A and B are shown apart, each in its own frame.
Chain A
């Protein structure tokens, strides 16, 4: 499955989240963005290819919260990154990382519009 086929935002999931979080929805969005920036920075440090497991763990972590936030495309890219690390195909790591970074930029502004 390609990330191009998936939407940036799952509007149904977001509506439900908003209901659950109520006034905390904005805080949730900011927390997610802040945490993800941190994690992206950590993943970038593993791109030299020496620690594929760390690359995999980083992608896995973003995948989890992206899934919960209703971000199907970002979640799918992170799943690919997780597998690349797991199967030690670090030559493909940079390409996936760049895609993740681009998708994160997109959802960041889309999410902020939702707040």
Chain B
């Protein structure tokens, strides 16, 4: 007996339907000898019944039989088999082409002519068994793919929900922000974040992650966390970018990164600071002037910490001036002819519409019209930021959610920063974070930041470094001040700044006492003697500023110790 090819020696169940008893006997003997199980049927009706009972893997079916012929039986069997592949081999002594074609049309997969040849029959059974296994594998994999796809969609939904909760705590609703962002933005990799700074002003970040779907969403999480966390703790733009860059570089696989543009809007000074890496150039509209801001840095998540370049542009930006940011979706928007919208067309839209109050809508319209019907308009990300007085932003200065915890009411902490650490570390965000643990103080984020920052800067610059604020009065003195600062900050051995913070809770509010001591020479505070410096002397020891917020400002020792009380009511 010939051995099987490809080792498909598995026992198969084979149904033999033939009205001719001697033919049936021969087939049954051949098939059994090859190691398969058989069942037999004497006509078409019997074949269908036996098919349902026996669930064969392969059917051998005589074409001409009484009651129901093989053609009809084949059609019924294929119907019963559903999407399973049950090969049907027609048994026939018919030899004209038309009859053989009829066998295949009825759903037969092959035919076997009389006299039966056992070698050919075995080869056919093996071939169809391989096909049957392949078909089963295909169905199983199809079902697996469908299942995995469902699973992935569910996961993406969850990821999007989590992401929305992380990313949308900011102030995207402020009156100075207009944006167009796909509702499925997390899946096209674009992220827009905006957050107010505790000392006033606003940070905005537009990011475009390489890749779509989960990799982009995963990268966007720490980006949003760091951006919101650090901005509301008072960190500077450069520090935030460095931190994000380092984090993304650590977590994203090679080849994945985040093209980004980060801007700081200073509403008081009417200034904008911009860092742009990897995103297309952005545009600044200053009055009737158009200024292109060239993208000049590498995307976030590529360079090592020390090589990362956080240097920024600074522009004057009067109230009413606007800046436009976008990801490459706008530039690469494609029309039916396969042409891209491109930078040239975009610049033309700006030049033609500089005076147009709704320039944002003009740009959007131009791109959508260019793409024509059915363009993928959900891939477009466009942001407009307008400079305006901070009080017109239309948002609460506090969006930090209350944790619901009562937090510490009575506590005290002491923190001392020594020697060269004074030159490299800014302890204000850290101190602010501790103070913010008192829920009632969270809404006073801005004031807290200003007080801590003022006290610490005084202690370091006037106290430790002995710089005289009078220097700052003239432009030359301003430069000299910073030159001296640079020089002295390298000789800090034995110096320190001690910060002592106490909080005492009351029924509905409390008192925060901050005492700062430095290792400097102090100053003759007796001179102040109740006559506090007027508003023109802001560069004194900031006493006026402190007094505008604190109920008590008191100096001790030789003027190197200051203590303030900040009283708050819920």
Q: Per DSSP, are chain B's interface residues mostly helix, strand or loop, or mixed? A: helix
Interface residues of A in 46-104 (CB under 8 A from B): 57, 60-61, 63-65, 67-70
- Other-chain residue from B25, B33, B115 in contact with A67 (beta carbon distance below 8 A): B115
Q: B115 contacts A68, CB within 8 Å?
A: yes
Q: A27 contacts B25, CB within 8 Å?
A: yes
Q: B30 contacts A67, CB within 8 Å?
A: no
Q: For the complex, is B93 an interface residue (Cβ under 8 Å from A)?
A: yes
Q: A61 contacts B19, CB within 8 Å?
A: yes
- Inside 8 A of B116's CB, which chain A residues have their CB? 68
CB distance from B12 to the nearest CB of A (A): 18
**23 residue pairs bridging A and B, Cβ less than 8 Å apart:** A13-B115, A17-B26, A20-B33, A21-B29, A24-B29, A27-B25, A28-B22, A28-B25, A28-B26, A31-B21, A35-B21, A57-B64, A61-B20, A61-B64, A64-B93, A65-B20, A65-B22, A67-B93, A67-B115, A68-B23, A68-B26, A68-B115, A68-B116
- Once A and B bind, how many residue pairs between them come within 8 Å at the CB atom? 50
Q: Please give me the residue from chain A that is nearest to B114 by CB atom.
A: A67
Interface centre among B93, B114, B118 (most CB of A within 10 A): B93
- Inside 8 A of A61's CB, which chain B residues have their CB? 19-20, 64
- Inside 8 A of B118's CB, which chain A residues have their CB? 16, 20
CB distance from A5 to the nearest CB of B (A): 19
- Inside 8 A of B93's CB, which chain A residues have their CB? 60, 63-64, 67
- Other-chain residue from B19, B20, B26 in contact with A21 (beta carbon distance below 8 A): B26
Q: Digit string of B59-71 for contact with A (CB within 8 Å is 1, else 0)?
A: 0000010000000
CB distance from B66 to the nearest CB of A (A): 9
CB distance from A81 to the nearest CB of B (A): 13
Q: A61-B20, A64-B23 are in contact. List 13 more A-B contacts (CB 8 A).
A: A20-B26, A21-B29, A24-B29, A35-B21, A57-B64, A60-B64, A61-B19, A65-B23, A67-B93, A68-B26, A68-B115, A68-B116, A69-B22
Interface residues of B in 1-32 (CB under 8 A from A): 19-23, 25-26, 29-30
- Inside 8 A of B21's CB, which chain A residues have their CB? 31, 35
Q: In the complex, A64→B33 CA distance in Å? A: 22
